[in-house]
Structure 1
Amino acid sequence: MKKLLIFSFIGILFLTGLTVSAQFSRPISIGAGAGGTINLTDLGNVESKFAFYGELDYLITPYISVGLHGEKGTLAGNGYDSDFKNRYFAGNINGKLRLGHFLDNTNNYSYYTLEANTLSRILSNIYVGAGAGLVKNRINRHISEFYANYLASNGGELADKLGEIHFVVPLNVGVDIPFGRTLYGPQWAINVNYQHTLTFNDNLDGIKNKNNDQYGFVSLGVKYALFNRK
């Protein structure tokens, strides 16, 4: 059911954007950036670690996009004289909906992007998004005998597979801060994003207990728009 809702959300974004798709002349952008991870796992003492990403977005309208996102980083935590480190890979397909879609500026985007003030342009590019993807674990762990016994007596266990691939749902909130004004819209943007990733397999830390693991990724990046529509 959750997978159906995610793909339905992306489909609605696509269909909604068809009516105004001709207004934007730079439909494809590439981006890259880096930041820090925050894990919500069974070993609750978080050690924030580094991650970086690359992405490709297709703008259906100036304010609705679908894209591909690739990510590599590290998750780490400790507690109960135990610790883990997961050097993971992740990838997803996602959709984003920006605030500008609900403002009165999509009918003539070329005029808007030349005339709007800086604050309006930033507010228009605040977005929320969701997607579906996969995470590939590479877990190293050191589990104390005390904690292993505690898990066994409370319905938990140590995971057998430390390198498995499993399904995830990333949720995003952020802003693209455009700079450079042309008739075709801004060609560059600074991106600030928080991605919260939900898993459906309690194994980001090599420990399976009562609740599925999650992690957050706070990032700063840059985007560059490619091509012009003819």
Structure 2
Amino acid sequence: MTKKILGLFIGVSCLTIGTVSAQFSRPISVGAGAGATISLTDLANVESKFAFYGEADYLITPFISVGLHGEKGTLAGNGYNSDFKNRYFAGNINGKVRVGQFLTHKDNYSYYNLQANTLSKIISNIYVGAGAGLVKNRIKNQIDPNYINAVTNQGGEFAEDLGEIHFVIPLNLGVDIPFGRTLYGPQWAINVNYQHTLTTNDNLDGIKNKSNDQYGFVSLGVKYALFNRK
């Protein structure tokens, strides 16, 4: 069932590409920003920490993009008289689909861009996305001996490699708020994004227990369209 839904989604996206691409210059968008991380690990008392990112996206249509995302920040948490801090690096390749891909827009994108009101543009640029990437850990932790015994008695373990690189799946929900009108699309945008990153192992805090670790990243940034015709 999941494969059928995914196939239908891809098919609809392909059919709608032609309807919004006229007079579209397919720019490369670059952006940067910062925000706060939220760790979801075995040490469950969250300490929100700072992170920043840089990214580049290629716009296939005005509302579908593929891109690269790089991120550096800190994850932290505590509990059971123990604590950890992970000064991590992360990178991924991702795709995003915006609401505007499925709305009834004019065939001529330039006409739509010049005529649409601000609210319509914001709604059209709400997006969901997913990707694949890697995280490089730099973990420092202090673990209470009683907690060590409790974890090992339940079949868990403590990571020997606190600098491990492992595979992650980032999921994104956000909005690009465009400003500045040109014939071929906006030159600038404010980006508000929530990225939820799923890991394929249980080692963001150095403790491998029952469930894989996860983390969230709430960010605010700015984007600029390169090679956009005036």
TM-score when normalising by structure 2? 0.92
Contact preservation (8 Å) 1:188, 1:223: yes
Alignment of 1:33-182 (within 5 A): 33-105=33-105, 107-182=107-182
TM-score when normalising by structure 1? 0.92
Describe the SS at the equivalent of 1:186: coil
Describe the SS at the equivalent of 2:107: coil
26-35 or 76-85, which moves further after superposition? 26-35
- Give me the whole-angstrom Cα distance separating, in 2, the residues matched to 1:22 and 1:229: 13
What is the number of equivalent residue pairs in this alignment? 227
- Give me the whole-angstrom Cα distance separating, in 1, the residues matched to 2:167 and 2:12: 22
104-113 or 210-219, which moves further after superposition? 104-113
Q: Compute the displacement of 1:228 (Å).
A: 3.1
Q: Compute the displacement of 1:157 (Å).
A: 1.1
- Structure 1 residues 12 and 217, CA gap change in structure 2 (3 angstroms): farther
Spell out, residue by residue over 1:93-114, the C-alpha distance to the aligned partner (whole angstroms, 9 max, x if none): 0000000001112621111111
Describe the SS at the equivalent of 2:204: coil
Describe the SS at the equivalent of 1:211: coil
- Give me the whole-angstrom Cα distance separating, in 2, the residues matched to 1:71 and 1:8: 31
Structure 1 gaps of 5+ residues are none
- Structure 1 residues 21 and 114, CA gap change in structure 2 (3 angstroms): closer
The one-letter amino acid paired with 1:187 is Q
- Give me the whole-angstrom Cα distance separating, in 2, the residues matched to 1:23 and 1:130: 28
Spell out, residue by residue over 1:126-164, the C-alpha distance to the aligned partner (whole angstroms, 9 max, x if none): 000000000000000000101101101111111111001
Structure 2 gaps of 5+ residues are none
Describe the SS at the equivalent of 1:161: coil
Q: Compute the displacement of 1:176 (Å).
A: 0.1
Describe the SS at the equivalent of 1:181: coil
Contact preservation (8 Å) 1:26, 1:226: no
Query: Which residue of structure 2 aligns with residue 210 of structure 1?
Result: 210
Q: Compute the displacement of 1:184 (Å).
A: 1.5
22-31 or 213-222, which moves further after superposition? 22-31
Contact preservation (8 Å) 1:13, 1:64: no
- Structure 1 residues 217 and 8, CA gap change in structure 2 (3 angstroms): farther
Q: Compute the displacement of 1:212 (Å).
A: 0.2
- Give me the whole-angstrom Cα distance separating, in 2, the residues matched to 1:73 and 1:10: 34
Describe the SS at the equivalent of 1:123: helix
- Give me the whole-angstrom Cα distance separating, in 1, the residues matched to 2:204 and 2:183: 46
Tell me how large the CA RMSD over aligned residues is.
2.4
